[in-house]
Chains A and B, each alone.
Chain A
Amino acid sequence: MPTGLFHSTYKDDEKIFQAIWLKCWMGGLLLFLFVGLPFIAPALSGIFGFSVQHMANMIGIYIIGAHGLNLLTGFTGQISLGHGAFMGVGAYTSAILFMKAGWPFWLSLPAAGLVTAGVGMIFGVPSLRLRGLYLAIATMAAQFIIGYAMRNWTSLTGGSGGLNVDRPSFLGFALDTDLHYYYLILVLAIVSTVFLKNLLRTRTGRAMVAVRDRYLSAEIMGVNLFKYRLLAFGISSFYVGVAGGLFAHYNLVVSDEHFTMWLSIQYLAMVIIGGLGHVLGGIFGTIFMVLLPEVLRIPTQILSNIYPNIFAIFGTLRELVFGLVIILFLIFEPDGLAARWHTIRAYWKLWPFSY
């Protein structure tokens, strides 16, 4: 009986779940997500004072988008400040196809992904020549151009007042409550996670990582830089586009204000706080970034009930603390939450006989 994990084949070494326990844990987590969370969400909402179900849905949607950016920034090493706008492209595409062209939801959602992938690849073309900050600025252009189009192409997008969207039905099943929608989001979030994890184990994924680590060596090894950079932009935008489509039908309204530079930066913050280049990073980072502002509301609320005279000050306080927490996080957890997760796991592996 081996006393640890000893792989004798490469195939073993590449397995995602290397031990039976991991599969059990994963099964438990899935069971919790599918059955447990919807069940306890109302009770949790009562304790925390915000709608837990809604937050779970938002987290699910943003996880898909964060995975997209993580693939691009974390695994291929290309920075993008345009992902907020790309999410908007997906949202508007699905909304317009669904509301104006009368497409069914199961077609409009993938179409949102494909259109966004196309747009993302167009804005990804400069990545051949530009790197780092320069690429960031080039992708920022997407933010301005797409944002302007969303605001002013009134006949198509409804202008700055936004576009109202209906909740869809999926295969004859009306997704009219947050809970129904939660299952759709959950399934898509799981599929996107599994796809990302597996993509990285393929030739394509390895080529992307090679491009990130040292593009010159990658090119010498025969990796077509332009192809993989563009592919990364395409897949990444597809992810974010699908997230946008989900968001549009969940939120019931899309307007340019949802998809500003702030969202792009938020996406970056998610993957950086979560951990660049870790699949788990996108998940942890998103949970952190979505929940933190809501959690910070709780003390604000209590304080404003005690001091109604100066309650306006506490709103500002919340924004300050939000900024402060992120700075502290980057100082003390520079590798992101995913790295911390691995440390904690390693600690428990040997507990209580750690040395």
Chain B
Amino acid sequence: MKRIKTYHWFCILLLVAGLTFWGCAKKEAEPIKIGGIFDITGPTSAVGKDYAQACKDAERYINANGGINGRKIHLIDNDYAYKIPEAVNLYKQYKDVDKVFVIQGWGTGDTNALKAQVTKDKIVYISASYDSALCDPSKTPYNFFVVTSYSDCIRLAMQFVKEQAAKKVVFTYPDHPYGKAPIPAGKAMAKELGLEVGPDEIVGLRAIDATSQLLHMKQFNPDWAWIGGTTPSASVTVKDAVKLGLKTKFISNIWGFDENLLQLLGDAGNERMYGMEPLAMYGADVPGMKPILEFNKKYSPDAVHTVRYIQGWTAMMVMWEGLKRADKAGQLNGPGLKAALETLKDFDTGGLAAPITYTPTDHRPTMSATIYKMSQGKLVPVKKVSIAREDRFLGW
């Protein structure tokens, strides 16, 4: 009995000592802390894992290449499983405990849920949600993202299908903020172009079957359909369309189109599956790809990455540039970083993304994208498209 007690005391002592050292060690080096809110286990983890890994790798790359004018950064990575309450918990932690002034966030639902708070707390929030509602600095001055917004993508997609002589279109999307966000813009554009819009079809992010939705869609028999899900749900939709003998072609939002489709869809997507992709595919022949490939060769040669990796990497690179500029101006804080990012004009990511411009009145980074299609087991670029930066498109 006595021996057990001594052992207990020893354990407690060890724990206390460990915590103390841990606490001290944390205080010694003072890197710039960055909050990370990623989906690694949730409904969008199929695309979220690679994105998160890219952010974590980019942290290492940035630190190995001079950091923020000599200072290191530390990305605090956390999984929130695509649950808004978890994201709010993490946000409170980053704000109160880690005292960050910049966060790398993820989904549309949580980014929208937090936008009022980040504005109040003056924390720059770079999201992987490319929702147009985040582009209007008069409403969300602290929200940024790095590629063409969903709504501009859907507008471009509508223009493209019109060129392909489409007459009837249908929108399929998950009943989720991410899926629903660009639909009004798409419908307005379709109306403007004189396209007939059929009834919407809801295909969940974790759907494994879309037969009933597609049977319903078959009655309307559209020439083209928009897919507003992620890669797994996009592949389910297209496969079931082939199974049911639909002639419809599909054009997907950015999160529904990547290298994984080749495996998921196989022949079913051949000449039928199109996608909006504002970024270079992983391994594409652009100057910005070189450091990425070198980094991966060195640290994780077996890893397989997709365009999601490029998305995460680009988000970190833009933040890096902003932090460097803010540091030079001596304003390494939320408002300082916001101001620094707003000085970016045609910022070149080495061809990874289209040149990025932010201004104090417009946070739309770019207005162009590339349309890809699946052809002969490859993702082939079809056309570079862009839309005029009109004020009437800002914020929705």
Contact = CB atoms under 8 A, between A and B. Distances in A.
Contacts of B88: 251, 253
Contact of B180 (A161, A262, A304, A318): A161
Contact of A160 (B77, B83, B117, B177): B177
A316 B23 contact: no
B60 A162 contact: no
A117 B175 CA distance: 29
Interface residues of A, number: 39
Contact of A50 (B49, B97, B176, B177): B97
Given A162-B112, A257-B109, A311-B53, A316 B96 contact: no
A51 interface: yes
Interface stretch (A41-49, A100-108, A329-337): A41-49
Contact of B109 (A162, A178, A262, A294): A162
A304 B77 contact: yes
A312 B52 contact: yes
Contact of B41 (A50, A160, A251, A315): A315
A251 B116 CA distance: 11
A265 B56 CA distance: 33
Nearest to A165: B116
Contacts of A155: none
A311 B96 contact: no
B376 interface: no
B242 interface: no
Given A47-B23, A49-B93, A51-B97, A301 B78 contact: yes
A255 interface: yes
Nearest to A154: B180
Interface residues of B, number: 43
A294 B93 CA distance: 10
B175 A312 contact: no
A51 B92 contact: yes
A58 B90 CA distance: 13
Contact of B176 (A47, A160, A178, A253): A160
B109 A308 contact: no
B79 interface: yes
A251 B91 CA distance: 11
A159 interface: yes
A257 B180 CA distance: 14
Nearest to B78: A297
Nearest to B51: A312
Contacts of B109: 160-162, 255, 257
Tell me the interface secondary structure of chain A in the complex. Answer: helix
Interface in A297-327: 297, 300-301, 304, 308-309, 311-312, 315-316, 318-319
A315 B41 CA distance: 7
B53 A253 contact: no
Contacts of A293: 86
Interface string B69-88: 00000001111010111101
Interface string B173-206: 0011100110000000000000000000000000
Contacts of A47: 19, 23
B207 interface: no
Contacts of A300: 78-79
Nearest to A308: B56
Contacts of A50: 89, 93, 97
B134 to A, nearest CB: 12
B40 interface: yes
A251 B175 CA distance: 22
A258 B81 contact: no
Contact of B79 (A42, A54, A159, A315): A315
Contacts of A51: 89, 92-93, 95-97
B41 A319 contact: yes
A151 B93 contact: no
B180 A159 contact: yes
Contacts of A53: 96
A275 to B, nearest CB: 25
Nearest to A259: B85
A160 B96 contact: no
A252 interface: yes
Interface of A: 42, 45-47, 49-51, 53-55, 58, 151, 159-162, 164, 178, 251-253, 255, 257-258, 262, 293-294, 297, 300-301, 304, 308-309, 311-312, 315-316, 318-319
Sort A-B residue pairs by CB-CB distance and give the 10 closest, nearest first.
A315-B79, A315-B40, A54-B92, A253-B113, A51-B96, A51-B92, A45-B97, A312-B49, A257-B84, A50-B93
Given A162-B112, A308-B60, A309-B299, 15 more contacts: A45-B96, A45-B97, A47-B19, A47-B23, A51-B89, A54-B92, A151-B175, A251-B85, A253-B84, A253-B112, A304-B56, A308-B59, A311-B52, A315-B40, A316-B41
Interface of B: 19, 23, 38, 40-41, 49, 52-53, 56-57, 59-60, 76-79, 81, 83-86, 88-89, 92-93, 95-98, 109, 112-114, 116-117, 175-177, 180-181, 299-300, 303
